[in-house]
Structure formats: C-alpha cells, structure tokens
Structure 1
Amino acid sequence: MASEETGGVVGVRVPPRSPAHELRAVKVVLHREMLRFAGDRTRMVSTVVQPVLWLFVLGTGFGSLAQGAIPGVDYRTFMFPGMIAMTVIMTAMFSAGSIVWDREFGFLREMLVAPVGRAAIVVGKCLGGAVVAVAQGVVILALGGLVGVPYDPVLMVTLLAEMFLAAFAVTAFGVTLAARMRNMQTFFALMQMAVMPMVFLSGAMFPLGNLPSWLHVLTTLNPLTYAVDPLRQAVFSHLDVPARAEALLNPGVHWYGRQVPVPVELGLVAAAGAVLLAVAVARFRRHG
C-alpha cells in the first residue's frame, strides 16, 4: 500500500556514519588489496626479481671491486637493507597505482558512491599497500642468511616495523599522485620520474659517507634516505664488523656534522606519512 502511494518507489535506508562504520570500510578496502595481491602471482614474482638480481649480481660485482677497501664485510650485506627498501617502495607504489586502474574500469566510482567517507577509502588503500609491500619485503628478508645477516628475532621485528612505516608513507605518496591520474601509462611515467631518482639517492646501493658536497646535500634532502638508513642501522647493530668498515659502510645521516638519531629519522618518515595521507585525502575528495 505504501509502495502504491509513493508511485512504486521503495525507500532505502542508509546506515548512519560512525567510527565503527568507517573502520569497517577501511577493513573492506584492506581486504580487497590483500585479495588482489594474492591473486596476481606475476606481480609478486616480478617485484621481487629485480632486487634479488641487484643484490646477488650487482652486489657481487661491486663486492669484488670493494673487497680490498672493506675487508671482512660482504658488500651484499651492505646492500641488503637497501634492497629491502627498494622492494617495499616499488610494491607500495604499484599498490597505490591500482587506484588509476580502478578508475579506468569503473570500480572506483562504485566505492565513491558507497555511504562511507573518502578518508576511510584512502586509509584502507594506504594500509593495504603497506601490508602488501611488507609481505613482499619479507621475501627479501628471508634471504638475509645468504648474505651474512643473522635471523635475530629482535632484528626481524625491528625491520618489519620500519618496513611498514616506510611502506605506508610511500603508499600515501603514491595515492596523492594517483588522485588526478586518468590512465596507468601517465602514472607509471610519473612514478619512474619521481621515485627512481629518490631510490638511487637514498644510499640503498652506495654508502653515504665521503660523498661530494652536492651529492651529500641531495641525499640529505631526499625523504627516502630516512627510510633506508634505519634499516641499515638495525642490520649493522647485529653484525660484528671492523670499526673501519663500520665507519665506511654505515656512517649514518649527518646534519651539520652531527649524526641524525634513528628515532628522529623514523619520526620524520612517520610525519611525512601523516602529511601525505592528509594531502591524499584532500586530493581524493576533490578529484576522486
């Protein structure tokens, strides 16, 4: 009877927004990212192959050249934290880029019309990207014994926490870039232009000590430097390395002649992640 009086239109009741409702939306987006990752074996393999090649091929080649300068240390041990960071960073950016894919195929529109806040979608996306990136990083982490890195439980937990923090910040950066992108080609071109120079300037593949002044400035200004250095500090704190090799391979990041403490570096990464998340939410509301 009520349906006849209203012309056959049936009312739809939208549940009121609440923290629990928004949290459920975050969990749904996170779960979808995990399912997408688990179902794409090609992506899983391709993201890991490049760092593995660099670690065992490039690292072995560089190690043969630097063997006389750093006795008692395998150069691949030095490169190991950098390869973890590279895997995490690239995987996080690929996860963020899936927003562009969702926009192209219309799935993003379905998420946007859902009765949830845009912030919940962005947070779920960033958390999903971070979890997927850490999962990929664990594969590299499992190879640590092959390059002289001990499987110490404290070290493993420390590296996992630092990997997650870096991955979340990078995913937020990727979502910020993807908010206005309309096709994957543009996103990946911009990603290569923005991320690859930062990776090379982060100290992932070469020590940060004894650099030319202009290169030292660039590495200091590079945000990814403060994500890579804590990983290396954690690894070297569990190694028995000669003092000379420690000073050469693990000098840390310096401001005005003073080494930046690891908690400060992690705080900078966390602050960058929070700022990028806020920017991503704002851009997503405007251009989503």
Structure 2
Amino acid sequence: MATEAIGVRVPARSAGHDLRAVKIVLHREMLRFVNDRTRMLSMLVQPVLWLFVMGTGLGSLVRGSIPGVDYRTFMYPGMISMTVIMTAMFSAGSIVWDREFGFLREMLVAPVSRGAIVIGKCLGGAVVAVGQGIIIVAMAGLVGVPYAPGLIVTLLLEMFLAAFTITAFGVTLAARMKNMQTFFGLMQMAIMPMMFLSGAMFPLANLPSWLHLLTVVNPMTYAVDPMREAVFAHLDVPSAAASMLNPGVRWFDFQVPVGLELGLVAGLGFVLLLVAVMEFRKAE
C-alpha cells in the first residue's frame, strides 16, 4: 500500500509577519531584562559610583572655579548616558549568547525577514536601556536637578535615540561574534574611549586642540551634549559657570545646534541599522 506524502506549507513572508516578529523580539528582550535583577543592579553600580563618589571628590577640587554649581549636577547627564549606553550594548550582546545556545539559528530560519529581527532587537535594547535610565532620572533631586515634566520628557526621548543608535552599533559588532568574551572585549575597547571623550565627565570648554578634535569626531558627544543642554536649561546657573560647564559643541566658529546634534545621532543610528541588517543577512 503506497503511502501518500503529506505536504508542508510554509507561510509566505509578509509585512504582518515581520511586524509580529519585531513585537516578539522586543517582548523577549523586555522579559529577559525584567527577570534578570542581578543585571539591573550591576548596570546601575558604575554610574552611581561615578556620580556620587567621583562627582563628590572632583567637586571638592573645582568648587572654587564653579561657584554656585554642584559638580555632580554637571556630571548627571553624562551618567544618564553611561547607564543607557552600557545597558544598550549588553542588550545587543545577547545575540552572541543566543548564537552559542542555538536560539539565534531558530530565529534566522523563521519565515520573517532578518531586518525585522534586527529592528526588534534594536527597539528592545533601546526600551530596556531607557527603563534602566529612568532610575538615574529619578535621582535628579539628589544632585540639584528639578523634576520638571518638560525636562523629563526631553531626557526620555534623547535617551531612547542614543540607546537605539548604540544598540544598532552593538548588533553590528555582535552579528559575526562567536563567543561572549570576544564581544565584551571589543565592546570595552569601543565604548570606554567614546564615553571618556564625550564630555560626560569633564567640560568641553578650553580643551587642548588635539583633545577638542577627538571630542568633535566622537559620535557620543552628540548624544551627551543635548542631555546637558536640556538639564542646564532648567537650572539657575551663573553665566560664567554655564559657559564653562555647558559650552556646547563647536565646529571651528560654528556652534552646533541641539537639533543638528540629534539629527546626527538619528542618522548614525539609521546607517548602523542598515549595516546590522546586511551583516545579519550574511550570517549563518
């Protein structure tokens, strides 16, 4: 008696399938973060130490140079950026973990575009990073920053933009990585110089020409400066201290407006997203 073959129908790819894939990957990232309390706490330790320990120590040294301003207030936007950026990179690094345990292969053979997987990953990393950054935002009153609704909304939007761009960068790096040790080594080599050269911990005014050049070409500078502009717009700071602590970013004699800075970060995020999609299409 002949046996009849049973056909298997694979659903065709569609925009609806891709949107659902984005939602599933985003939801998975949020569940993974919420269920990992150790990761949540560890991501907060470094920026809190920098803000309250290093900020207090440095503030005692420069108190005479910036009367009327707590140095921790100056460092506050930079610590928000550090929290968001580190969390976003760790979220991107979970791709390497998924590859090691075989889950990534299951996602790649699903009947959805790889672009949908990358977009879901970037959105998930951005949402998780913003959620972590909200904890630092809640500490604003401890460093003399007001809880102004407009300021909080502005910071949240800028945090999301920076986190999305950094996650796209991390996904691009992780697309070809085979183990976590290699990824985290490369991550530290890439992220730490960008953080130190972004003006997160020191003012951008009166820098040596070589250091000024490094801060100008550093993309993270254009993520940190808008946050600092937003914070200082809600502070009553002497003009001399404001010009020293919040000089903005200058290209020669051109003062770069905040809108252009955010546009540069958004443009870089879009380019990195395209690169990440192309890298995933080459992956196994």
Q: Give TM-score scaled by structure 2 length.
A: 0.98
Cα distance in 1 for partners of 2:115, 2:181 equals 26
Cα distance in 2 for partners of 1:132, 1:216 equals 32
Residue 210 (structure 1) aligns with:
206
Q: Which of 136, 140, 158 is the matching residue for 1:140? A: 136
Residue 41 (structure 1) aligns with:
37
Which 10-residue stretch deviates more, 172-181 or 17-26? 17-26
| Superposition deviation, residue 13 in structure 1 | 2.0
Q: Which amino acid aligns with 1:268?
A: L
Cα distance in 2 for partners of 1:11, 1:192 equals 50
Residue 21 (structure 2) aligns with:
25
| Superposition deviation, residue 11 in structure 1 | 2.0
User: What do residues 95-125 of structure 1 show as CA deviations (whole Å, max 9, x unaligned)?
Assistant: 0000000000000011111110000000000
Q: Which amino acid aligns with 2:234?
A: H
User: What do residues 41-80 of structure 1 show as CA deviations (whole Å, max 9, x unaligned)?
Assistant: 1100000111001100000001000100000000000000
User: What do residues 215-240 of structure 1 show as CA deviations (whole Å, max 9, x unaligned)?
Assistant: 00000000000000000000000000
Corresponding position: 1:227 with 2:223: yes
Q: Which amino acid aligns with 1:215?
A: L
Corresponding position: 1:4 with 2:3: yes
Q: Give TM-score scaled by structure 1 length.
A: 0.97
Q: Which of 159, 165, 168 is the matching residue for 1:169? A: 165
- C-alpha RMSD of the superposition: 1.1
Q: Which amino acid aligns with 2:274?
A: A
User: What do residues 249-274 of structure 1 show as CA deviations (whole Å, max 9, x unaligned)?
Assistant: 00000001221000000000000000
Cα distance in 1 for partners of 2:237, 2:255 equals 19
Unaligned runs of 5+ in 2: none
Q: Which amino acid aligns with 1:95?
A: S
| Superposition deviation, residue 181 in structure 1 | 0.3
Corresponding position: 1:266 with 2:254: no
Cα distance in 1 for partners of 2:283, 2:105 equals 12
Residue 66 (structure 1) aligns with:
62
2:146 is paired with a residue of what secondary structure?
coil
Cα distance in 2 for partners of 1:148, 1:168 equals 28
Unaligned runs of 5+ in 1: none
Instruction: Answer yes or no: is the 8 Å Cα contact 2:14–2:112 preserved in 1.
Output: no
| Superposition deviation, residue 206 in structure 1 | 0.2
| Superposition deviation, residue 14 in structure 1 | 2.0
Residue 115 (structure 2) aligns with:
119
Q: Which of 103, 106, 111 is the matching residue for 1:107? A: 103
Q: Which amino acid aligns with 2:131?
A: A
Cα distance in 2 for partners of 1:11, 1:153 equals 58
Q: Which runs of 4+ in 1 moved over 6 A?
A: none
